[in-house]
Structure 1
Amino acid sequence: MGKTKKGKPKPHKSNPTGLVSMRELEMDENGSTGGPINSIIEQLQSVNSDEKMCGLQALSTLCQREYNIQSIVDSEIVRIAAPMLVDHDLNVRHATAGALRNFSAVSVEICENLVEQDVFTPLLILLNQYVNNDWLPTKEKRSDTLDQKSDTFLQAVNIVWNLCESTSVALEYFNQSQLLQNFVRCLNYELFGMDIAISVGQCLLVISEDNAAAWKVLIDHNSDFQNLLKIDGDFQIVMLRTLVAGIISNVPALLMQNLKLVIEALSKTIEINHRTVLNEITSKLPLNETDGPQIEVIDEEMAEESEADASFRRFKEECPTELDNEIKNVAYLLSAQRISSEVLSNICTPEDDEGMDEDFDDKSDAESVHDYDVTQQAQQNGNQVGGDKIPVEIAEAIKAHQVVEKLWARAQLLPENVQQILAECEKNLWKRQNSLRVSSLLCLHNLCNCMTIEDLGGATAIYNVWLDLGQQIFQTHQDPATVEAATSLMRATLDHLKKSPELFEQVSENDLHLILDGVKDCEKSEVRANWLRMLGTLGCLLKENLVKKIVEFVLDATLKENDVWTLSESLDSFMDIFSDNDWNQIVDDLNVILKSRELEKILKTKMRQQKRELGDRYSSILTVRTNLTRFCKYLENQQKIYMRSKN
């Protein structure tokens, strides 16, 4: 392609398509005058449909490049493009919906901008033209893809999904539109096809979350949802069934009626062995990455693709091969299993005691003269898991369907060769598999926090999980999200093992140093907090020589910690070490009292400095500060008694 000059694009020699070239997009990045946006705006405002199409295709490409986003936001281009969703030319409508869908997928801020630019008005007009005319989709004869009008609807649903997920204003607009009833109708995959049913299901999953206005409509479709919970079939069916289970779980009245059916449906989804499926698909992938099909991947690599590559990708999407369809179906499975883990996690997470700490203000230090009660402190820290914190019927269903065991299977690493092939040849599946692993670990973490040690399989099984995760983290390179999820689960499992010190008799000094090195090398504060929490628990389980190393390390690490949340977590774990044993000799050898007083001052200072950033965490940190003051007083009293006994 040639350049697009300001003004009408030439229909022949220099630029037969009228599209803004990739070269000109790069010139805009380097600060050339004018840039493509003005040219695109002129094309969008043209009365000629072909020129509008050129502008829309250029906009779709433009918004895939991060450095162009702010320029798009600052311009009027979205406000100009949005009404074209209801253009008289169906080609223009389709191109507009595709461009705005791409743009809405960029970020929450972009979605907010789209709502401000009044995208919702033409978007709702467009959708009403479908639902008010008994429309049904059709398929193109030359392939199994949707016809253009149906695909426009699909793109519009995805825009609604992205906007409602990102901003409450969009959700309010949707609630007022009265479209929800018709959206539920589109879940009928036999009438509307799987592509539309799944996209609508994903949209409804977002819309139904914490949305009482939607609940009033959805509750009338209980029988429809029940039927969809019972369907069986390929991975598309699995995806739709899982989405319906998620929608039901968002509506309290529906979940109450269908709890067993929902957990059974989610259990069936996570029961499928994704490792076997991925082994099979990787054996079919071409080893040359450029030859491999890439389905629905929008990332930096795609943003930097050449025009020839982009053309080839669009062709593959419009005319998918049998392998393309297989990959798409595997992607559905991985997404369905991730959603299942997230829905189970939400179902099994007990409601927080909201408002408990709202009146916990910055009190005077006079409160700190109360003696420190280590037993009470341990209970406050939530380290004693006495019984199920979820309703009996949920716990029973989780056990009956072996959900814990299935989630653990989904959380396992893939064989190294499979990981490598996916990373090189099919990045979409590789990313989805990583997301599945993270969500499975987080769901297990939530289950671990709210179920008894017996329901989780017993102390030995829990210890083996802790050990396996530690080996995986230290033996293989993991991305930060996976490490955070894994260490969160390790921390939760260790809390269950505080009454099983016999399991840790074989822990050596070398084993301990692996953990200590893990903390030293960790840059993410949430992961450091998890490691430091685990050290606090291990300090209650290991022999005195190892406990001394832990106390010394935690004190030194805490003195160097800058993040106040991690600092408070570290101090909380440090106090845990003394919940079952005063360790008087260690206190004396390491000058623990003096360092604890110094840490008390540091915590107070950092709380003042970072108070505005703490949000909901402030009250928890304030509790740690109060307990630390009492702890220091307690240690001083105990040490006086100890020293008198020595003399």
Structure 2
Amino acid sequence: MGKTKNARFKRAQFPPEGRPVKAVKRAAEDDEEEDVVESPHAELLEKLQSPSADIREYACASISRVVQQSQTIPGFLHRDAVRRLAPLLLDSSLAVRETATGALRNLSVCGGAEVCEDMVRQDVLTPLTTLLTECCVRVQLSSSPVKKEQKPTVEDVANEAVNLLWNLCESSSTAVSVFNRARLLDVLLPCIEKHPHNVQLALSAAHCLHTVTEDNSELVGSVNAAVLAALENVLLSTHSSMEHVLLRSLAAGTIWNLKCCLSSTHQAEAISAVVKTLAQCLSLDAGVLVPDLWHRESSRLDGAGTSDPESARPDEHQAAAGVQEEEEMDDGEMKMNRGKRNGKKMEKDLAAFLPRDKPELREAVALLTAQQTSLEIIVNMCCSDEPSDDEWEEMSSSDESEICTDGVADGNSSLFSPLCLSAELHTTLLNYSIPQQVLKKAEFPSHAALDVCGRNPAWKCLVKKMQRVQCRALTCLHNMLAVMDVECLGGAAGLQAVAQHLSSLIFTSADLLKDEEFLEAVTSAMRSLLQIMASKNIPQCMSPQQLMSVCEAALQCDVLSVRVNALAILGITGSTLAKDEGSAETLQLIGNALLGVASKDTNLVACGEALDALLDVFADGQEAEQAARNINLLTALKALQPAFTAKIRKEGRGTYSADQLCVLDNVKTNLRRFIGYLESLQKK
């Protein structure tokens, strides 16, 4: 309501970017079904106790494959799989260590946050910490470069262990606390320092470090010069592979997370280095590079006939069955995949689940992951430390402090948040042309890239990743519009160009407005843009009818933040139109739409936003007064008022946060005053 809260990306548990998995059902299954599904699993778990290392390795590798089918996970958990696998992390056989760690890694990813919490409760971190500490010492002593071998190396084991740690820390605050206490930061450094020779291990460590450094004040005391030097070394690396581009992006994000550890004299240099790294990543054109990598793979396979047998070493605990399209997920799976911030779907690095004989596809995935990561970092840069939008914690635009002398809220008095970027960061973002780069990434994926990805099932997974980069860019645009000076964004002409750009995105295809992720990202950007343009009296290219058509689609969305964005857009559009002669008919349409939501939406937040928008639209002006009379607004609001008040009293406590209730109470107060204002108009 009123001010636009900036988006922020938070740590969330991701499923593998093969077929997404559903949450583990904890309810007991009937005995007959357990006998059918679990008997083979019981046999595999028994083999974990075999005196033969080969049999133990076989059992671990088999479990790794089986748990990728999420329906099998309850059966394994019921038979205490975690406690049986955990001791094998310290098995005398290196191969068993690798496959056991891989099995737990797959269990943690495919089982989701609930299973990760269970694993932490069952103390899997104790043997994992011991394993990581041993690996750290041996990785430091190991020779480089790593040779391709049939048998696993200590770096293979370390890679699996770090990935498992990453998964657990994403889902469990307890795991993060253990990470801090056990000083596992020191364990990750040698892995990151291996980046010239083993980029996969370095990437796993960098992902983990990027995760655990976010909002982790307890870790700050452990950050020393060696940590910062290792990250700086990564930023300064000149390796040109896309996996190194991703590595540099993750290092940049980690430095941003740890900026409070830097002295004031070094912060400016660090911020400049971070933004430069992100700019270099975003400057890469996936529309050119993805087709190029695809053609490179095709040429290699045509020339060789078959892929390199050594590079295709069986890796049973990874997704050996290949990558399945994300489009196969059903509605329940989509909801399970949502991160903390407003339903954003975020996945683990797909490259970790690709066969080793697809280096070009791994490069393409790394490129898109790097660009998504870079955009998410910029989103967080252009964001205050306040909680996220999904908690609806911003104050109403028509709060008590903004009531005018006639008792009516001034709908335009607080249309946008004050600038919250430091002058230094603001200047750095502009120096590296970040706004222009973000706008470029907000375009649709190139036809050339979409075409080549459609020719090969293994490459189809990149389509979703390209679309996700676009959505992150739109969210980034939303934040930048809220915190950057209009002149720095090109002034009125620049904002009109952005409006034209968003218009071209929205009205390209009706199917796009059915995609929740895209709809949320684009409506957030539209909301910020319209707020700023309205406050500066800048005309924009989208007609009220076009905006209403978008809002109509958005109001059908199950995602609350999308509906809230649509209601805010209607409020901004209406309050702007109310100043124009002959707008009464359009204001009636907007008023009826808002009344419909206020009276029918089951969510109090949406009802409150609709009422607040109504107050903005009909606050002042002859056209607004005429439209209000035509739709019997006073009668409608009088009918809504007692039900809204009762709903706050009945459902508010325990369902909505204290901040949400504060805003709802504010709307309730303003509604009472607005009704009084409409009654005074009737008496004239």
TM-score (norm 1): 0.82
Letter in 2 for 1:531: A
How far residue 513 of structure 1 moved from its aligned partner, in angstroms, is 4.9
Residues 1:67 and 1:613: Cα distance change in structure 2 (over 3 Å): farther
Is contact 2:605-2:664 (8 Å) kept?
no
Q: How far apart are residue 415 of structure 1 and its match?
A: 3.1
Q: Give the whole-Å Cα distance in 2 for the aligned partners of 1:277 and 1:522.
A: 35
Kindly provide the CA deviation profile for residues 468-527 of structure 1, in whole angstroms up to 9, marking residues without a partner as x.
Answer: 334423433333112111111111111111145562587264x35523542454343321
User: What is the identity, as a one-letter code, of the residue corresponding to 2:567?
Assistant: L
What aligned pairs does 1:147-296 form with structure 2 within 5 A after superposition? Answer: 147-189=152-194, 193-221=198-226, 222-234=228-240, 235-254=242-261, 257=267, 258-283=270-295
1:503 maps onto 2:545 in alignment: no
Cα distance in structure 2, aligned partners of 1:69 and 1:612: 37
1:559 counterpart residue number: 599
* Change in 2 beyond 3 A, CA 1:448/1:516: closer
SS in 2 for 1:460: helix
1:369–1:480 distance in 2 versus 1, CA, 3 Å: closer
Give, in angstroms, the shift of residue 228 of structure 1. 2.8
The partner residue of 1:122 within 122, 127, 137 is 127
Q: CA deviation at 1:403?
A: 0.7
2:409/2:616 contact within 8 Å kept: no
1:619 counterpart = 2:619 = no
Pair 1:399 & 2:430 matched: yes
Does structure 1 retain, via aligned residues, the 8 Å contact 2:378–2:476?
yes
CA distance in 1, matches of 2:611, 2:323: 41
Superposed displacement of residue 166, structure 1: 1.0
The residue type paired with residue 260 of structure 1 is S
1:209–1:384 CA distance, 2 compared to 1 (3 A): closer
Structure 1 residue 369 displacement after superposition: 12
Answer whether contact 1:370 1:630 (CA < 8 A) is retained: no
Residue 568 (structure 2) pairs with residue 533 (structure 1): yes
| Superposed displacement of residue 573, structure 1 | 1.9
Residue 74 (1) aligns with residue 82 (2) = no
1:562-599: CA deviation from partner (whole Å, max 9, x where unpaired):
12222222222222213453621112111111212333
Q: 1:546 aligns with which of 549, 566, 586?
A: 586
Distance of aligned partners of 1:526 and 1:470 in 2 relative to their CA distance in 1, 3 Å threshold:
farther
Query: In structure 2, what is the Cα distance between the partners aligned to 1:520 and 1:150?
Result: 51
CA 276–607 in structure 1, closer or farther in 2 if over 3 Å, else same: farther
Cα 1:390–1:512 shift into 2, 3 Å: closer
Please give the alpha-carbon distance, in whole angstroms, between the structure 2 residues aligned to 1:370 and 1:494: 23
State the aligned residue count. 589
Whichever residue aligns with residue 231 of structure 1, its letter is S
- Specify whether residues 625 and 591 from structure 1 end up closer, same or farther in structure 2 by C-alpha distance, changes over 3 A only: farther
Distance in 1 separating the partners of 2:223 and 2:205: 14
Gap change, CA 1:481 and 1:506, over 3 Å in 2: closer
Alignment check: 8 A CA contact 2:88 2:100 kept: yes
| Structure 1 residues 490 and 409, CA gap change in structure 2 (3 angstroms) | same
Separation in 2, partners of 1:282, 1:74 = 44
Query: Could you tell me how far apart the structure 2 residues matched to 1:325 and 1:464 are?
Result: 39
Structure 2 counterpart of 1:581, from 621, 624, 628: 621
Q: In the alignment, what sits opposite 1:62?
A: 66
Asked if 1 retains the 8 angstrom alpha-carbon contact of 2:368 and 2:465, the reply is yes
Q: Distance in 2 between matches of 1:512 and 1:191?
A: 51
* Cross-structure match for 1:491: 527
Q: Which residue of 2 aligns with 1:338?
A: 372
After superposing on structure 2, the runs of 4+ consecutive aligned residues of structure 1 that deviate more than 6 Å are 27-30, 291-302, 357-360, 366-372
* Distance in 2 of aligned mates of 1:535 and 1:526: 14
The sequence identity of aligned pairs, in percent, is: 24
Question: CA–CA distance in 1 between the matches of 2:595 and 2:355?
Answer: 61
- Native 8 Å contact 1:108 1:167 kept in 2: yes
Counterpart among 589, 595, 598 of residue 636 in structure 2? 595
2:91 counterpart of 1:87? yes
Structure 2 residues not aligned, in runs of 5+ = 1-30, 300-304, 329-349, 395-399, 578-582
Residue by residue over 1:213-257, the C-alpha shift from the partner in whole angstroms, topping out at 9 and shown as x without a partner, is 322222423344334323333222221211111111111324652
CA distance in 1, matches of 2:183, 2:443: 44
Cα RMSD for the two superposed structures: 3.7
* Residue equivalent to 1:308: none
Deviation at 1:283, TM superposition (A): 4.6
How much does 1:534 deviate?
A: 0.5
**Distance in 2 between the 1:388 and 1:345 partners?**
14
Q: Using a 3 Å threshold, how does the CA distance of structure 1 residues 34 and 189 change in structure 2: closer, same or farther?
A: closer
2:471 to 404, 422, 438: 438
Question: 5 Å matches for 1:276-425?
Answer: 276-283=288-295, 320=357, 324-352=358-386, 373-375=407-409, 378-379=412-413, 382-384=414-416, 387-416=418-447, 418-419=449-450, 421-422=452-453, 425=457
Change in 2 beyond 3 A, CA 1:508/1:384: closer
Partners of 1:239 and 1:333 within 8 A in 2: yes
Over 3 Å counting, the alpha-carbon distance change for 1:614 and 1:490 in structure 2 is farther
Distance 1:472 1:191 in 2: 41
Distance 2:420 2:278 in 1: 21
Counterpart code for 1:462: L
Residue in structure 2 matched with residue 630 of structure 1 by the alignment: 670
Q: Structure 2 vs 1, CA of residues 263 and 615 (structure 1 numbering), >3 Å: closer, same or farther?
A: farther
Residues 83 and 122 in structure 2, CA contact (< 8 A), matched pair in contact too: yes
Query: Which amino acid in structure 2 is aligned with residue 178 of structure 1?
Result: R
Q: CA deviation at 1:636?
A: 3.1
